Amino acid sequence: MTTIQPLVFTGFDPHRNALEESLFHTANGYLGVRGCPEEGAPQGVPSIRGAYINAFYDTKPIHYGEKLYGFPETQQGIVNLTDVQTVRLYLEDEAYAPLASGQVLDYKRELDMQKGHAIRTVRWRSPAGREVEVTVRRMASLAQRELFILHYTVKALNFSGRVRLVSREEGDVRNFADPNDPRVAGQSLQHLAVKEIRPLESGGLIVSRTLASNLQLAVAVGYTPPAGFSLWMEGQTSAIEGHMEGMLYQGQSIAFTKHVVFADSRRHQDPVGTALSLLKETTAHPLMRYEVLQREMLQQFWQHSRITVSGDPALQRSLDFSLYSLYCSVGRDAVSSMPAKGLSGEGYEGHYFWDVEIYVFPFFLMTSPDLARGLLSYRHAILPAAREHARAMGHQKGALYAWRTIAGPECSGYFPSGSAQYHLGGDIAHAFLQYYYATDDLDFMAHKGAEVLVEVARLFLDAGHWQGDSFRIDAVTGPDEYSCIVNNNFYTNAGAQDTLRGAARMVKKLQEAGKAGPVLAATGVTPSELSAFERAADHMYLPYDEALGIHAQDDGFLRLKKLDLHTIPKENYPLLLHYHPLWLYRHQVCKQADTVLAHYLYEDLADEDTMRRSYEYYEACTTHDSSLSRCVFSIMAARLNNIDKALAYFRDSATLDLDDAHGNTKDGIHTATMGGTWLALTAGFAGLRIKQGGLSLSPRLPRSWTGYSFPMMWRNSALHVTVTGDGCQVETLSGDPVCLAINGQPVQVSPGHPAHLPLKVG
């Protein structure tokens, strides 16, 4: 396999520290640890010290000035875990403090995406002139999800002397907050209470519980000290320290390894027993064992997932970083999904949004179907909470998924841009249908997928109403959160139509296959209900403006006052941080793609000319304040053959975190944008579409590229797509023959028999 270049930052910039903590975090879908300085950050250097378990949360009350019926009373938020990052180094009587004193001679951070670890190397001269090189290698194990490993190396460059290392595990931790930014928690709170401190012979155990949700966390630590160094443990009120001391001679290196096992009560019946057992098991093996397993798992990942773009190394680095981050962020059990910031920070408080199904899910569906199925299993697991939410919102039937959630209940206290986003049900249903089209996994649909489809369809049927011969859905919010509580949002209605029709078809498909028993038992859906689904879908109202020749975003959007975005000062973006919501709601201004997104997902609802006019109209009034927006505009620009514009949007999306374009990557990476970057290439430039009728491609090639390629799975076959100036080639690497369409022309590929067609022109 081609070597994947590591992500490397050199030189220390204090203003960039918190950003680098996000970029160089280590995670494995269960556990994430920010890349914070082991010695701590001094005053004036931004740092957000944190570690997180996916879906491990605490609750806190939501305070309202005026609380009305059905408003959520509590909110869930991801918990900052026991701090296991701290290591203090003493050279004789001098504390190693490269960010606070002495002189930094060299500073380098590296994320090795083939080996799966982050490295921080600092060469430092102390105030007394001692020079030392400290290298710290971190890994969140992909083979053992509970395991985090920190390997700390010290090399004496110009001195010999006594060295002391103090490694600390601190249970007294708080969550980060910024009261001026709605994208993070507004109040810093402590969510963990230490219940037990237990020093072990060469490590320790800290047991904590969340204050409100009463979840248990056990953190077990084991040390392998440097050869010849003494080791002793000290237990304190809320912490455990491992002390190591010995001689270090000029030119010599010493190293110690810290194995940390995290176990939580949402996955483990006995977190303490699990943590201690796993610690014993992991410390019995050499570090190399986990490094080899890490490389092997990543080799498999890259083989099935990597996009390559010829002729643009900087863009390739961004693509590699995005896909690697997605793989390290995705939940691998039905308890968890993918937080908006992955496991790299506390932005959006660890909540799951509809972003997962629309922007992230397609990547896993086409590269790692097992992980995609896990994301859908999570949605099925929280279906009871979605039913409860629907009842709270006044619906007698169906399931209404929460806009922001961890364990199922709604976590947003601002319903106009929260619970009112009924389109989320359509987004989730779309993912289930896409899964079936791509995998033909009828058993999964029988036991989980069809139940979700039926309950979401029921919700749309109950939320809508008939007006004449059209079915309409009022008082909802679409993806554009600058237009709230509108009637007949085009995106929502299009998703509802797809859900209603898809649910009816899926139940009938299961009945024909003799597999409808589970969904009939779970839902009691009747033939008359299925007919009602189909009738509402067939008569769904999709707003259209005859004068402009475009689909209206909703019934009222085109009647609002127009806003010239060029008159707004750059420092006033994003608008949500500088303007009252009502001011935004009164103008034709979009936070992100809405109708344009609908034209991508449900492209058969509009002809080419309508799409083009809609694209141009909404582009002029979209701020892209949401990181989800530019990738969609890239996809549709490619769809409309404006390849230069598609490439510009694509670059903005692909480099968002590495360039910190939105100024908030310090709070965590943007996982949905990373998924959207994959979509912008595969669905945009390559024209990949997954429909009931099968798989299709319509590839284009930007003029500045010599080519691109990507692997994908289709049912039981592994495919590889290569696009160059000579055309598009699709080959089957393994599995059954595959029928697909390239530029509308049906072709069949099988092992040893690829298909090659010229690119689409015009």
Catalytic residue among 481, 571, 608, 731: 481
Q: Give the number of residues written for the chain.
A: 762
Whether 282 and 291 have beta carbons less than 8 Å apart is answered as no
The residue ranges of DSSP E strands in 236-350, in sequence order, are 239-248, 253-264, 308-310
What is the C-alpha to C-alpha distance for residues 514 and 508, in angstroms, rounded to an integer? 10
At a CB cut-off of 8 Å and minimum separation 6, what does 288 contact? none
* Residue whose C-alpha is closest to residue 261's, from 533, 540, 18, 33: 33
User: For residue 446, what are its two tokens?
Assistant: 């029988």
Whether 403 and 424 have beta carbons less than 8 Å apart is answered as yes
What is the identity of the amino acid at 509? K
φ, ψ dihedrals at 463, nearest 5°: -75, -30
* Residue whose C-alpha is closest to residue 535's, from 448, 606, 464, 601: 464
Whether 350 and 339 have beta carbons less than 8 Å apart is answered as yes
259-271 residues labelled b (16+ CB within 10 A) or e (exposed)? bbbbbbbbbbeeb
* Residue whose C-alpha is closest to residue 385's, from 408, 352, 417: 408
The burial of 648, by beta-carbon neighbours within 10 Å (0-12 exposed, 13-18 middle, 19 or more buried), is given as middle
CA distances from 448 to 85, 235, 454, 515, 521 (A): 40, 48, 11, 12, 12
Q: Is 296 a catalytic residue?
A: no
What is the C-alpha to C-alpha distance for residues 671 and 280, in angstroms, rounded to an integer? 34
Whether 84 and 171 have beta carbons less than 8 Å apart is answered as no
* Residue whose C-alpha is closest to residue 459's, from 518, 500, 402: 500
What does R_g of the chain's alpha carbons equal in angstroms? 27
Classify 475 as helix, strand or coil. Answer: coil
User: For residue 659, what are its two tokens?
Assistant: 């360039």
* Residue whose C-alpha is closest to residue 56's, from 250, 293, 476, 343: 343
CA distances from 624 to 270, 485, 620 (A): 46, 20, 11
Catalytic residues: 481
